[in-house]
């Protein structure tokens, strides 16, 4: 049996009064997710372990069956792997957002929904002005980029910008983590956490002056559009050590990951999956759903396992756009789940399908929350439970009950 996980990033939500106190999954028209729930089995999954923030890098790594306490090193190293930057042992890599500030506050974590082409201009400009033998800026995708600092410490406290919309940015600057790591072999030869925090904060302040002077941002401001007027580094770490999925789950002989997001591609690379790049896959609501769906089917014909990640719902949640998030959920159902279900149902070799989000991103909060997510598992001949719809409320009654972390992948790979 082959396996495919269809993951709608941030798709889960809270009940919204404007929707008659329904969640977005309850309100949206999702006949194919509902069909799979009716024909399959459902449950809920806690994707974030104690002591971790509900980031996508944490939740997706747990969904794939990894123990975060053993492998977690932050988003930076994962995105480095995706970009193709081979981290040295002395590197500390951080996700580096291009964000929008106004009136002393974080307005948006995405710099006005930058294109990768425009972001590349700004990142190269910053690297020319601020980069040196110790500091390097590397272009990623859209607003998501990489900052690599040699011999920096990962023991710092950073504020993910998507968790702090409309909050003052200055109190959110990087701080040293409390503790003593002087006897930790991994810290030998590295800067202290305070030295690291001071360096990063200095880069943030300097970036604001430089970006304000750039012609691209001047033109954006003149047109009344949001400029990308600050960097915001966060979630740093060293090169991680991870077993591949093939080592963890012998049934998986080969696999692929399909995503527009660097950190998901990075997780996939460390997990031993082939990264499939789909033209027009943006990570936003305008992503190439059909292209990603077709790529998933083609990979599933050749391989045992496919992880298909769609970011659009998460971005709509961060923007607080209720109508758009509903649309992204319906697009996932109609343009991804439907064609995959209809196609694999014809195949001689059975395919096991799972559908789930990694975490909720409620539109009225605009940030990730650490709460269980609904999931479904379907394959030809599975004995269905009593759940008839796929949503946060219905799946409470699912026969899988409440799973935690690696239990999902262990359950999924039993079939």
Q: Which CA distances in Å does 227 have to 109, 113, 166, 221? A: 11, 10, 15, 6
- The span from the CA of 412 to the CA of 415, in Å, is 6
| Beta bridge partners of residue 168, listed in sequence order | 105
Query: Is the pLDDT reported for residue 22 higher than 90?
Result: yes
Instruction: Report pTM.
Output: 0.80
Residues 300 and 283 occupy one common structural domain: yes
Query: Is the pLDDT reported for residue 117 higher than 90?
Result: yes
Residues 149 and 183 occupy one common structural domain: yes
Query: Is the pLDDT reported for residue 83 higher than 90?
Result: no
pLDDT tens per residue across span 260-286: 998 899 899 999 999 999 999 999 999
Domain-terminating residue out of 238, 254, 282: 238
Helix (H), strand (E) at residue 141:
strand 135-141
Nearest by Cα to 43 from 385, 408, 375: 375
| Beta bridge partners of residue 30, listed in sequence order | none
Say how many C-beta atoms besides its own lie within 10 A of residue 129's C-beta: 15
> Virtual CA dihedral for 189, 194, 199, 201, nearest 10 degrees?
150
**pLDDT at residue 82, rounded to an integer:** 80
Supply 399's token pair.
């026969």
Q: Is 414 exposed, middle or buried (0-12, 13-18, 19+ CB in 10 A)?
A: exposed
- The span from the CA of 94 to the CA of 346, in Å, is 44
CATH of the domain at 305: 3.40.720.10
**pLDDT at residue 9, rounded to an integer:** 98
Residues 101 and 234 occupy one common structural domain: yes
**pLDDT at residue 59, rounded to an integer:** 97
* 3-class DSSP state of 394: helix
pLDDT tens per residue across span 35-68: 999 999 999 999 999 999 898 989 999 999 999 9
Domain-terminating residue out of 206, 238, 270: 238
pLDDT grade for 84, boundaries at 50, 70 and 90: confident
The separation between CA 376 and the C-alpha centre of its own chain, rounded to angstroms, equals 20
Domain that holds residue 308: 2-72+241-413
- The span from the CA of 73 to the CA of 236, in Å, is 7
Residues 6 and 96 occupy one common structural domain: no
Helix (H), strand (E) at residue 39:
helix 31-39
The separation between CA 117 and the C-alpha centre of its own chain, rounded to angstroms, equals 21
Q: What is the mean pLDDT of the chain?
A: 96
pLDDT tens per residue across span 303-350: 999 999 999 999 999 999 999 999 999 999 999 999 999 999 999 999
Q: 82 or 149: which carries more pLDDT confidence?
A: 149
Average pLDDT over residues 198-204: 98
The answer to which of 158-162, 179-183, 203-207 has the lowest mean pLDDT is: 179-183
Supply 221's token pair.
């401001």
Residues 158 and 262 occupy one common structural domain: no
Say how many C-beta atoms besides its own lie within 10 A of residue 69's C-beta: 10
**pLDDT at residue 54, rounded to an integer:** 94
Residues 215 and 292 occupy one common structural domain: no
Residues 299 and 311 occupy one common structural domain: yes
Nearest by Cα to 139 from 99, 213, 79, 211: 79
**pLDDT at residue 219, rounded to an integer:** 95
Annotate 59-72 with DSSP letters as a single string. HHHHHTT--HHHH-
Residues 43 and 182 occupy one common structural domain: no
Residues 141 and 58 occupy one common structural domain: no
pLDDT tens per residue across span 219-267: 999 999 999 999 999 999 998 888 999 999 999 999 999 999 988 998 9
| Beta bridge partners of residue 144, listed in sequence order | 97, 141
> Virtual CA dihedral for 69, 72, 74, 80, nearest 10 degrees?
180
Average pLDDT over residues 290-296: 98
Phi/psi-derived region of residue 283, left when phi > 0, alpha when psi is between -120 and 50, beta in every other case:
left
Classify strands 255-258 and 305-310 as parallel, antiparallel or unpaired: parallel
**pLDDT at residue 241, rounded to an integer:** 85
Residues 382 and 371 occupy one common structural domain: yes
Annotate 233-259 with DSSP letters as a single string. EEEEE-------HHHH-TT---EEEE-
pLDDT grade for 175, boundaries at 50, 70 and 90: very high
Domain-terminating residue out of 238, 257, 278: 238
Residues 100 and 197 occupy one common structural domain: yes
**pLDDT at residue 183, rounded to an integer:** 87
Q: Which CA distances in Å does 299 have to 7, 61, 279, 355, 385? A: 16, 21, 15, 18, 30
């Amino acid at each position: 049996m082959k396996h495919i996980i269809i993951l709608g990033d941030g798709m889960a939500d809270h009940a919204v009064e404007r929707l008659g106190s329904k969640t977005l999954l309850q309100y949206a028209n999702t006949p194919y997710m509902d069909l799979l729930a009716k024909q399959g089995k459902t449950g809920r999954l806690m994707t974030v372990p104690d002591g971790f923030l509900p980031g996508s890098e944490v939740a997706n790594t747990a969904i794939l069956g990894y123990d975060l306490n053993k492998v977690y090193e932050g988003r930076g190293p994962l995105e480095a792997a995706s970009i193709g930057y081979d981290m040295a042992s002395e590197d500390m890599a951080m996700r580096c957002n291009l964000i929008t500030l106004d009136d002393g506050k974080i307005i948006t974590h995405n710099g006005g929904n930058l294109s990768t082409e425009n972001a590349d201009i700004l990142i190269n400009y910053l690297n020319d002005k601020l980069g040196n033998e110790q500091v390097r800026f590397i272009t990623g995708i859209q607003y998501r980029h990489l900052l690599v600092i040699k011999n920096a410490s990962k023991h710092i406290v950073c504020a993910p910008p998507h968790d702090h919309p409309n909050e003052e940015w200055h109190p959110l600057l990087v701080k040293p983590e409390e503790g003593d790591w002087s006897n930790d072999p991994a810290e030998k030869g590295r800067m202290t956490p305070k030295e690291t925090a001071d360096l990063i904060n200095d880069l943030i302040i300097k970036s604001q002056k430089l970006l304000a002077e750039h012609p691209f941002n001047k033109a954006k401001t003149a047109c009344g559009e949001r400029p990308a007027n600050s960097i915001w580094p966060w979630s740093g770490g060293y090169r991680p050590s991870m077993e591949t999925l093939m080592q963890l789950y012998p049934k998986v002989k080969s696999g692929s990951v399909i995503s527009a997001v660097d950190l998901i591609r990075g997780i996939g690379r460390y997990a031993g999956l082939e990264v499939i790049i789909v033209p027009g896959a943006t990570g936003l609501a305008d992503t190439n759903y059909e292209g990603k769906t077709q790529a998933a089917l083609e990979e599933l014909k050749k391989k045992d396992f496919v992880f298909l990640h769609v970011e659009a719902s998460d971005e709509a949640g961060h923007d607080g756009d209720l109508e758009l998030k509903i649309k992204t959920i319906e697009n996932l159902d109609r343009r991804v789940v439907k064609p995959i279900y209809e196609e694999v149902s014809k195949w001689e070799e059975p395919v096991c399908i799972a559908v789930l989000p990694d975490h909720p991103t409620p539109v009225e909060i605009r940030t990730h929350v650490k709460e269980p997510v609904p999931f479904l598992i379907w394959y030809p001949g599975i004995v269905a439970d009593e759940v008839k719809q796929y949503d946060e409320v219905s799946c409470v009654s699912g026969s899988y009950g409440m799973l935690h972390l690696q239990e999902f992948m262990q359950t999924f790979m039993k079939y």
